[in-house]
């Protein structure tokens, strides 16, 4: 019997019979032993559960069966029952370094979020460089404590992080269900609300990219539209919870980016007048805030990301 669970690992399981064992073995081999592995069978239709059955006698494994609710619904179910001091999300077609949880937990020191670098791979061809460039900023800023400075809009994954369970519950943070890009909203909320965050400059998570049969490979236009509508709605709901001006600015830029991406998906065009009104809101916020040199660089990066929206290109 584990007296104190340090980390709860939430693993949604849906049609991953070819990869689930590799994932599960990497979790069972963790050097940190005070863990629980919560497998959420999200109505899988293949032989994933048969692959799991031989491991169910391990004390640390919990299997929950439910009707299909999607990735968000499965993760939310895991959040409901997790007992660990920290929570980790691992996708069932990925795997992790055997020391990942120990290294991250030992660095936690009562922080809200700890995250590490990661490696993507396709057919056993490994690539770290494209992600390392995105994390390059933190190498020179390891003293940053507030989560609002750690948010990278182009990299909103949840699976390379440990979240303090108390922090998640105190802020009533859950995944929006029945949408895609659910990580966008969850990562934005957690990092803008977190007061104490740390980055570990070591690739400890292995992400299987572009696998055959993944959900993201066959998404309808209607579902994309619904997802962006829900994310924008959710951003507006927690605007009042964000207290500092720098985070409010980043949130507004994020809201506008999602709005213009939505227009792009719908093949709609905002009038020049309305575009200028939207951008004027950002400029007014900028005028009122005394940003540090570091914060100016972050906002510059955010604005560059915002202007990548097709309907905002070439606007003066």
- In this predicted model, what pLDDT tens digit does every residue of 233-266 receive, in sequence order? 999 998 888 989 999 999 999 999 999 999 999 9
Burial class (CB in 10 A: 0-12, 13-18, 19+), 35: buried
pLDDT digits (tens, 9 = 90+) for 204-223: 999 998 666 555 555 789 99
User: Distance from CA of residue 147 to its chain's centroid?
Assistant: 13
Question: What average pLDDT does the structure give for the chain?
Answer: 90
210 φψ region: left (φ > 0), alpha (ψ -120 to 50), beta (else)? left
Query: How many other CB atoms are found less than 10 A from the CB of residue 212?
Result: 6
Of 49-58, 126-135, 282-291, which range is least confident?
126-135
Query: How many other CB atoms are found less than 10 A from the CB of residue 224?
Result: 18
* pTM score of the predicted model: 0.92
Joined together, the tokens standing for residue 101 give 């949880």
d(CA 144, CA 191): 12
Banded pLDDT at 142 (limits 50, 70, 90): low
What's the whole-number mean pLDDT along residues 290-296?
A: 90
pLDDT digits (tens, 9 = 90+) for 44-97: 999 999 999 999 999 999 999 999 999 999 999 999 999 999 999 999 999 999
First CA to last CA distance, the chain: 64
pLDDT digits (tens, 9 = 90+) for 161-207: 999 999 999 999 999 999 999 999 999 999 999 999 998 889 999 99
């Amino acid at each position: 019997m584990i007296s104190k669970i340090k980390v709860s690992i939430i693993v949604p399981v849906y049609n991953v019979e070819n990869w689930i064992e590799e994932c599960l073995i990497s979790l069972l081999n963790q050097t940190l032993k005070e863990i629980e592995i919560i497998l959420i069978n999200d109505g899988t239709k293949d032989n994933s559960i048969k692959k799991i059955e031989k491991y169910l006698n391990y004390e640390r494994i919990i299997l929950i069966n439910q009707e299909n609710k999607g990735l968000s619904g499965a993760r939310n179910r895991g959040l409901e029952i997790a007992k660990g001091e920290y929570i980790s999300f691992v996708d069932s077609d990925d795997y992790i370094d055997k020391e990942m949880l120990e290294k991250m937990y030992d660095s936690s020191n009562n922080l809200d979020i700890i995250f590490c670098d990661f490696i993507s791979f396709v057919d056993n061809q490994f690539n770290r460089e494209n992600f390392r460039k995105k994390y390059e900023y933190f190498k020179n800023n390891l003293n940053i404590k507030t989560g609002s400075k750690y948010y990278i809009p182009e990299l909103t994954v949840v699976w390379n992080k440990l979240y303090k369970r108390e922090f998640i519950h105190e802020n009533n943070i859950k995944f929006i269900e029945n949408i895609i890009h659910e990580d966008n909203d969850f990562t934005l909320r957690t990092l803008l609300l977190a007061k104490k965050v740390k980055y570990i400059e070591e690739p400890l998570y292995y992400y299987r990219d572009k696998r055959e049969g993944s959900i993201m490979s066959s998404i309808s236009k209607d579902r994309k539209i619904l997802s962006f509508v829900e994310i924008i709605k959710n951003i507006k709901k927690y605007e009042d919870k964000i207290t500092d001006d720098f985070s409010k600015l980043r949130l507004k830029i994020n809201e506008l980016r999602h709005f213009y991406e939505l227009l792009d998906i719908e093949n709609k065009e905002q009038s020049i007048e309305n575009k200028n009104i939207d951008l004027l809101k950002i400029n007014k916020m900028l005028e009122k805030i005394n940003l540090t040199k570091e914060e100016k660089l972050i906002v510059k990066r955010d604005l560059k990301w915002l202007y990548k929206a097709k309907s905002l290109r070439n606007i003066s």
